[in-house]
Structure formats: C-alpha cells, structure tokens
Amino acid sequence: MSDRLAKLKETLAQLNRLYMISELLYWDMRTIMPEGGFEGHAEATEHYQTEAFRISTSDELYELLQELSAPEEWEQLDDDWRFIVKTMREEQERDRRIPEELFSRMVAAQTASERAWEEAKKNSDYSIFAPHLEKLIALTREVKSYTHPELEIYDALLDDYEKGMDSATIDRVFGELKEGLVPLVHSILAAEQPDDTKFRVTYDLDAQRKVQKLLLTYIGFDWSKGTVGESEHPFTLDLSATDVRVTNHFREDNAIDPMFSAIHEGGHAIFEQNVAPKLAGTVAGGCRYLGIHESQSRFFENILGRNINFWRPIYADVQKLQPELADISLEEFAREINHVRASMIRTAADEVTYCLHVILRYEVEKAIFREGVSVAELPALWNRKMEEYLGVVPANDAEGILQDMHWSDGSFGYFPTYLLGSIYDGMFLEAMEAELGSVDELLAAGRIGEIRGWLNRNIHQYGSTRRPKEVLREVCGREATAEPLLRYFREKYKKYYNL
Amino acid sequence: MSDRLAKLKETLAQLNRLYMISELLYWDMRTIMPEGGFEGHAEATEHYQTEAFRISTSDELYELLQELSAPEEWEQLDDDWRFIVKTMREEQERDRRIPEELFSRMVAAQTASERAWEEAKKNSDYSIFAPHLEKLIALTREVKSYTHPELEIYDALLDDYEKGMDSATIDRVFGELKEGLVPLVHSILAAEQPDDTKFRVTYDLDAQRKVQKLLLTYIGFDWSKGTVGESEHPFTLDLSATDVRVTNHFREDNAIDPMFSAIHEGGHAIFEQNVAPKLAGTVAGGCRYLGIHESQSRFFENILGRNINFWRPIYADVQKLQPELADISLEEFAREINHVRASMIRTAADEVTYCLHVILRYEVEKAIFREGVSVAELPALWNRKMEEYLGVVPANDAEGILQDMHWSDGSFGYFPTYLLGSIYDGMFLEAMEAELGSVDELLAAGRIGEIRGWLNRNIHQYGSTRRPKEVLREVCGREATAEPLLRYFREKYKKYYNL
C-alpha cells in the first residue's frame, strides 16, 4: 500500500469516527433522550458535523486525492479504491464550493426545523413549521447554486439521493405508472371491500415487540450486527456496517402496520449488513442511493411480506406471540394486509395507493422548486391532489402536509426514491424468478434464505460501487421501466378484488 | 466577566462536549449496542477520553488557571468560581504528572478488562479476568505514584472517590459499625425467619418496567431531565444536569430487587437533577464525592424505601401494576423487604448484611494494595471472609470475587464509599427529624416531597462545593460517626425480629 493510500485510510478513519458520533447522537435523540438533553445534543451534533465537513473539504484531503489520481498512484489502486477516490473527488469539488458559514447555518436550521416540525405535527399547526420550511427551501436553493450550478434545481436535488437519475427518466416511469394505476385504483376502490372488523381490537404492545423480533430474525436480520429501538417515525441507521439499527413505533390499535415497518426497516438493515467488508468505512461501503436502498426495504416489505406464502411457515408462531390474531385465519390475514384503502397517511398506506402518495409529493416538490409555489399555498395544493388521486381530503394538516418528517430536515428530492424503489422491485422480481423460479414456492417452503442470498449476491455486496442505472443494467439487463411493477399489481389485485 | 473567565468557560464547554460523548458511548455500549459495535465504540471512547485528557492537562489551561489565581483576577471571582478554579488547579497538577502514554494504556486496559470481566462472570471463570485485574492493579499503582506521591497508596485511592476522607477515619467508623453489627446480624440470623414462599412466583417483566416508572415518579425523578434503560448491572449516568439516566436489570424470578434498584438509582439521579444550575458544566456541578452521592441513593432506597410507611400511599397502585403481589398484604410486603439473609450477592443483600459485604471488599482492597496479597489468592481470601462474616461460602467465582463490575474498570477504593453513604444516612436522618419531625409520619401522609425538599436544600443544591467532611459539619454539626446508623438498625430489627 502506498503512503498516500495509507494516509487516505487514516483520514477516512477520522471521518468515520465523526460520522459515527453524529449518528449516535441522532439515534439517541430520536429514541431515548429526555427533553433536557436537546440543547447538548444539538450543540454536539452541529460541532461534529461541522468538523467532518471541514475535514472532508480540506485542502489537505483535496491534494491527497489529486495525488492519488496521478498515473503512478492510480495504477496501484484496485477498482474499488479507484471508485472511492473518484467519488470522493467529485463530492469534494461540489462540497468545497459551499461556504462553511452557509453549511453551519444549514445544519442549525435543520436542527431547529426538525424540532418545530415535531411541535407543529403534535398540534396540527402548520404555521409553527411554515417559516422553518421556507428558510430550508431558500437555504437549499442557495446550497445547490454552489454545488450543482450546471443542473436544473430539481435534477440537482435528485443527484444527492439517486446518483445519475434524472427527472426526465422519473417523469417517464412515473407517467407510465400513473396512467396504469389511476384506473386500477379506481376499480379496486369501487369493488367490494373485505370486512376488517375482527382486526379492530386492542393489541398488546409488548407482544408486538416480540413479533418484531421474530420477523426480523426470520428475514435474516443479523442481531450480532444490529439492534432495535423505538421512535416517533421508524428509521434505519448505521453506526457502521456491523452496528445497524432499526426503529419502530408501536400502537395499541394496530399491530399490522408495525409488522410491515419492521420488515421494511429490516430490509434496509440487511442491505447494510451484507455489503462486502472490504468496502467498510468508505464512500462505497453502505448504499448511498436511496432508490436502490428503498428497493430492498420494499422488496422485503411488499414483494415478500405481503405475499401469503411469506407467512405460511411462521403464521402460527406469530399468532402464539400476538394472541389477538388467534381467531384470524391465514387467508383472512393475507386479505387484510392487501386491503386497499384511500387513506391519508403514506406510511400506513397499502402497497398500491402508496405509489399515488409518492407521486403527489413529487409533484408538490416540483411545484415548490420549479414553479415557485409559495409555502403558504402548499397545504391547499396537497389537499387538492389528495382529492384528485384518492378521493379523500385531510381533516387537518397533521394528516396532510405535516405528516412526513422528510422536509423538516431539508430532504427535498427524497420522496421519488421510494417509488423508484418499487419500480426497481418489479424489475428485480422478474430477474429473480428467471433465475430461481417461483418466489411463491420458495416462500411457501420457508426458503427465504435463498431469496435473500440472491439479493446479497446481485445487489447488497456491491455497496455503492454500482450506480442505480448500472444496477438495473447488470441485474435486469434493461433501462428503468414501470411495466413489470404494473403487471405485478394487476395480477395481485385481480385475485384479491375479482377485477 | 473578565476575558480570562470567558476563556475558561469556553474550555469547559469543549471539555463538557467530550465528556458528554464519552458518557453517551458508555451508555449506548451498556444498554443497547450490538456486539458488532464494540470495536468502533471502544476506539471512539479512547479517542475522546484522550482528547479530553489532553485539553484538561494542557499548558494553555494550566496558564489560564494560574492567571485566574492572580490577585486582580481572583478578586473578581465569586465563591463558586474560586472553588472551581482551585479544584481544577489541584486536579490538573496531579493529572499533568501522568504521562500521556500511561493514561492511554490505562484507558485501553480498562476497556479490555471490562469486557474480560463480563466474559469471566458469564462463564464463572476467574482465570479469564485475573490477568486483566493484575494489569489494572499495577497500572493503578503506577498512576498513583505520579498523582499522589505524598499519600500512602490506599489513601491515594480514596482521594479520587471521597475527597478529604482518609483510611484512619474509615477504620474508625467501620470499626464501630463492625463491632455493633456482627453480634446484631448473628442474633437476626438465629431468630425466626419470615416465610417468603408467596414471593417465589414468576413476575411479568413489562409490569416491572411500569412499577419502576411509578416509583421513580413518586420519589421525584424529573422525566423532562432524565430517562431509563436496561443493562446487566444498574447504574446512573449523566450526560448533563438536564439529561440524567438510570438503568435497571429485570428478572422474572424477582420483582423486589429491581424496585429497590430503581429507587436507589433514582436517588442518585435526583441528586444530579437538583444541583444549582449555576454550577452546571463545571467541576462543582454534579456531586463528585461518591460517599455523599451514595448517601442519597441509599437514603431513598433504605431509609425511605424499606420503611413500611413509604408504601402506604402507593402500595395499592403497585399491586394493580404487578398483579403477582395482589394477595400479599402491605405488612407481608414490608416484612419481606426487611428480610435479612446471609446472601452471596452484595447488590441483592438486605440493608444490614450489605454493610458486611462492603467491609469485606474494603479489607480485600487493603490486602491487595497494602499487604501485597496476589491476584491468585483473592478468590480464597474472599470466600474465607464470607464464611467468617455471613457463615456462607460462594459456590463459584461468579457469585464470589467476580460478582461486582467495579474492579473491572480499575475502581479500587470505591467500595468503602457505599458504606460511608449509609453511615452518613444515619446522621442525616437524625438531623432531618430534628427539623421536620417524624419521617414515618411524613411518609405515611405521602409528604415525601418535603423530605426530598430537605435533601435538595441541605445537600443537593451545593453539588461538589462542599466536601464530604464539610457536609457532615454543616448539616449534622459533627464528625463522621456510625452511632446513629447502628441505633437505627437496632430499632428496626428489634421490631422485625423480636430481638
């Protein structure tokens, strides 16, 4: 190993420590910290994130990366390290253009805004959050004008979350999907709905925690490299590839949503736990592309988890842990987890209307950044679109514009990655079945490990070394298309709704 | 405020951030971290502790403290800041004498040793821990030879945990106590023992968590400034005065020990939560004297918690939460929480034999440091003393020499502070009743808030600004004496055991 590569590894160790501390502070803040800890955690978070930013944009690192790119050094690097050096250079050249003072303002604004959003949501009072949102939008535009001067603003936002993806491609695939889904959802909502009375009981919370443990274990979550917590909104976070954490939010009136949150976050965690160890602690360790990441959480949650065959080997055990399900047959359970409703809340939405929730958010974001729609107009715009796509109108802003935390930390351009994930899933399912045969049969036989193995081999191990469009080409041999997902939806709902 | 004082406050903010991060890493490691997180947490802990050590022993801070001690600056300081500057100077002069390389070795040895102890205890295999213990003893001697060259080694150990306390005083008060207790414990153990069959049932774990919440709330734990977790061994830790955390360890076979752990750790936390805010983030904020600290946890646990009157206002609610107690009367419950047994485990010991467990450890530590008894001889020495004081011999090292975590991180000289705490409690009870009247009556009337208020006013608010001997003089008007504690024990057990 050259001295310069050794030096880069040292810098990465230093940066990783700072990232780990920031993640630990975030984890603690969201899962357990009392109110009185806020000030100290916020101050420390800002400090360590600023320190990481300073190192990652330093002249010293800049020169080191230049030197490693010179022919005599470059020749000694293997493909992974070439990817790492190239990616770090690209990101650094972008980040170095952000004035340090602007970055600090952004971090401080995010922290304050996250808190305001929590307060606003609790009181269903958009006016508490609106000034923070406006500030974040302005700061985001300012940051992007430094980092991506060459890109149209919405493409610049996407670039952070799904490298190489562009709004033209998204417009095309979301368009294909919307065209097929709107009539499908309308037929489903007009069809006879299953009776869900038996599910409306009070579910023991501790039993739900035990069911989560069973589900995570079953899908292959590695407990020696991960743990669980509870927070307002479920999330997955990694302190390192060997310390990957998921949260959930349990409620007495609903035991099913938390099961699917567990499987969803478990899917994210399994990705992180299975990246090749040689990539650990670099920009290639872990997956940085949120659409690809989301494709894995949603593959576990929907493609596997909402399939009746997923439950055949474990349903009796789940019933034992959660006795409120004792009188509900596997068929009734499967029917309910595929129950389509015109609901207000994205995270509680069924698999198919979920797509429309995301398309709505994508359109609202384009309205903000492209059409200059004002912050004051957003609640009404949101509500109009809800009525148009799902035929329902939020009763208040807590179940409307305030429902998601994403905009509270300035994550604009993030939402479309959820739907890209599902679109990729249709494509992955097709490719997987071509190789392994019927997923229904594998699941029914409890051979979920083979499915996970396929995902590990084809997707997880590469971490970030393959970019999204490259993953699709390598794994599916084609460009992004919504066609397999649409076909999957049509087949599934034909069966459940006699369409 | 002078520029120099402002500069000191800046340095303290920097140090506090580092301490907070170290505490957070410790909290996480003990309560939730998966196995795969160990390496990263250990590396980060060493890094941040070393950084804090470097700053706190730096020439820059040394000079700043010198300057603040010069007449023109000193005159501008109030009493609190004078105490802070003086204490920091004293500590710095000691710490600066420790070679940085020795400090790093100590931190690394502590981390490795803590882990070895966990493994050793799990397998009841002293040989796993012994080499680590030997190394820590040697490193401790080496460190003390730099920090306290003027003190005899055991007095040097005490100085870290109970400033100004000396082994001559401890020998005197422990001597008084041992002389009175050995015959008392022998009479108790020879008397008729209560029937505890009804308590030997399986207790729901989640119910225990709810009882803990009730108890902490009842004694006055402030949930806006604190939270709870679960760990192998209960502890209290503060990230700041407004973020104070306690842990517990719940077991299905015993619901009573965890109740008293909750009250005990709650007593520690209430102390930290009630130090005057003006002292926050300095060497005077929080209590640094472990005997004084322990006096507060044990006052809540024993003087209040083991008094039948403590339970009168809440016992029915506890029974509702923990239905296994439904058929147990308040009198039976009070009898059981004052049941004296010759047990192996200090943390599960009753209030009176507990004293002998501590005297044993104090004597073992003196044997190690004063008499040079070897690490190999310790298990046998431990077992001989157990037989002598309590008439029982541990069946294995897990319930003998390995039972406590304290020596695993090099906390030698810590154990005596537990018993000093109880000895102070006898004195505080006497002083409190002289002012407030009967504690029995206050408790029975649910007026525990007045008791807590007395402790807040007389002890907590001062943080560390009064040293242990000073606290006794100010609050009790006398020197340390075991006489009030002995009297309290004699009265209590006379009643419960018809002596």
Q: Which domains, ranges and CATH numbers included, belong to chain B?
A: 1-96 (no CATH), 167-497 (1.10.1370.30)
Residue A110: name the closest of A45, A19, A40, A17 by CA: A45
Q: Cα A403 to the chain's mean position, in Å?
A: 16
Token reading at A233: 């909104």
The ipTM, to two decimals, is 0.88
Interface test with A, best of B22, B25, B27, B35 (most A CBs within 10 A): B35
Q: Are B325 and B318 in contact (CB under 8 A)?
A: yes
> Does any CB of chain A come closer than 8 Å to the CB of residue B231?
no
Listed by number, the residues of chain A in 241-280 with a beta carbon closer than 8 Å to a beta carbon of chain B are 242-243
User: For residue B493, what is the enclosing H or E element?
Assistant: helix B483-497
Which residues is B238 bridged to in the sheet? Answer: B244
Residues B419 and B162: their CA atoms lie apart, in Å, by 12
Contacts of B44 in chain A (CB under 8 A): 17, 20-21
What is the model's pLDDT at position A1?
Answer: 80
Which portions of chain A are predicted below pLDDT 70? none
Residue recorded with tokens 């099961």 = A259
Contact A420, A472 (CB under 8 A): no
Taking contacts as CB-CB distances below 8 angstroms, the residues of chain A near B35 are: 224-225
Residues B483, B425 contacting (CB under 8 angstroms): no
Q: Give the separation between CA B365 and CA B278, rounded to whole angstroms.
A: 38
pLDDT in tens, B214-253: 999 999 999 999 999 999 989 999 999 999 999 999 999 9
Interface contact A32-B229, CB threshold 8 A: yes
Taking CA atoms, what residue in A is nearest to B37?
Answer: A243
Mean pLDDT, chain B, rounded, equals 96
From A368, A362, A357, A293, select the one nearest A140 (Cα to Cα).
A368
Those residues whose C-beta lies under 8 Å from the C-beta of residue B72, and which sit 6 or more positions away, are none
pLDDT of residue B100: 86
d(CA B488, CA B100): 48
In what order do the strands lie in the sheet containing B243-248?
B226-230, B243-248, B236-240
Q: Is the dihedral of CA A311, A316, A317, A320 positive or negative?
A: positive
CB pairs A-B closer than 8 Å: 84
Mutation choice for B interface testing from A46, A210, A238, A239 by most B CBs within 10 A: A239
CB B345 within 8 A of CB B399: yes
Q: Compare CB distances from A36 to B16, B36, B224 and report the shortest one's residue.
A: B224
**What DSSP assignment string belongs to A413-477?**
T-THHHHHHHHHHHHHHHHHHHHH--HHHHHHTT-HHHHHHHHHHHTGGGTTSS-HHHHHHHHHS
| Complete DSSP assignment for B8-32 | HHHHHHHHHHHHHHHHHHHHHHHHT
pTM value is 0.89
Of B17, B34, B224, the CB nearest to A223: B34
Of B17, B27, B34, the CB nearest to A226: B34
Query: In whole angstroms, what is the distance from residue A184 CA to residue A491 CA?
Result: 11
* Res B499: pLDDT: 85
pLDDT in tens, B368-412: 999 999 999 999 999 999 998 999 999 999 999 999 999 999 999
pLDDT tens track for B166-218: 999 999 999 999 999 999 998 999 999 999 999 999 999 999 999 999 999 99
Query: Where does residue A407 rank: exposed (0-12), middle (13-18), buried (19+ CB within 10 A)?
Result: buried
Q: Residue A251, SS3?
A: strand
* pLDDT given for residue A96 in this prediction: 87
Per-residue model confidence (pLDDT) at position B270 = 98
Q: Is B255 exposed, middle or buried (0-12, 13-18, 19+ CB in 10 A)?
A: buried
Give the number of other CB atoms < 10 A from CB of residue B179. Answer: 11
Reading chain B (499 residues) residue by residue, the pLDDT tens digits are: 889 999 999 999 999 999 999 999 999 999 999 999 999 999 999 999 999 989 998 999 999 999 999 999 999 999 999 999 999 999 999 988 999 899 899 989 999 999 999 999 999 999 999 999 999 999 999 999 999 999 999 999 999 999 999 999 999 999 999 999 999 998 999 999 999 999 999 999 999 999 999 999 999 999 999 999 999 989 999 999 999 999 999 999 999 999 999 999 999 999 999 999 999 999 999 899 999 999 999 999 999 999 999 999 999 999 999 999 999 999 999 999 999 999 999 988 999 999 999 999 999 999 999 999 999 999 999 999 999 899 999 999 999 999 999 999 999 999 999 999 999 999 999 999 999 999 999 999 999 999 999 999 999 999 999 999 999 999 999 999 999 999 999 999 999 998 8
- pLDDT given for residue A478 in this prediction: 94
Q: Which residue of B has its CA nearest to A32?
A: B227
Please, which residues have CB within 8 angstroms of residue A435's CB and are 6 or more apart in sequence? A454
The residues near B101 (Cβ < 8 Å, ≥ 6 apart) are none
